[in-house]
Amino acid sequence: MLIRAARLSDLDDIVNLVDYYAAQGALLPRSRESLLEYLPVLGVACVDSEIAGIVALHQLETKVGEVRTLAVAPGFHKQGIGEKLVQYAVAQAEKAGMTKVISFTRQVAFFQHCGFQIVARETVPAKYFIDCVGCPMLSHCDEVAMERVLTSTTFSSADDSGSSHPIISKVAGIGQ
Ligand X SMILES: CC(C)(COP(=O)(O)OP(=O)(O)OC[C@H]1O[C@@H](n2cnc3c(N)ncnc32)[C@H](O)[C@@H]1OP(=O)(O)O)[C@@H](O)C(=O)NCCC(=O)NCCS
Binding site for ligand X (CB under 6 A): 21, 26-27, 70-72, 77-83, 103, 105, 107, 109-110, 113, 176
CB 53 within 8 A of CB 76: yes
Q: Cβ of residue 54: shortest distance to ligand X, in angstroms?
A: 9
3-state secondary structure of 137: coil
Q: Cβ of residue 23: shortest distance to ligand X, in angstroms?
A: 11
- Which residues, at least 6 apart from 143, have a Cβ–Cβ distance to it below 8 Å? 104, 105, 106, 176
Q: Cβ of residue 150: shortest distance to ligand X, in angstroms?
A: 18
Q: Name which of 24 and 152 has its Cβ closer to ligand X.
A: 24
The residue sitting closest to ligand X, measured at its beta carbon, is: 82
Q: Cβ of residue 85: shortest distance to ligand X, in angstroms?
A: 7
Q: Cβ of residue 97: shortest distance to ligand X, in angstroms?
A: 24
Q: Name which of 5 and 88 has its Cβ closer to ligand X.
A: 88
Q: Name which of 112 and 164 has its Cβ closer to ligand X.
A: 112
Alpha-carbon distances of 20 from 8, 11, 42, 96, rounded to whole Å: 19, 14, 17, 31
Q: Name which of 34 and 79 has its Cβ closer to ligand X.
A: 79
3-state secondary structure of 40: helix
Q: Name which of 37 and 143 has its Cβ closer to ligand X.
A: 143
What sign results for the dihedral spanned by CA atoms 12, 15, 20, 21? Answer: positive
Q: How far apart (Å, rounded) are the C-alpha atoms in residues 82 and 73?
A: 10
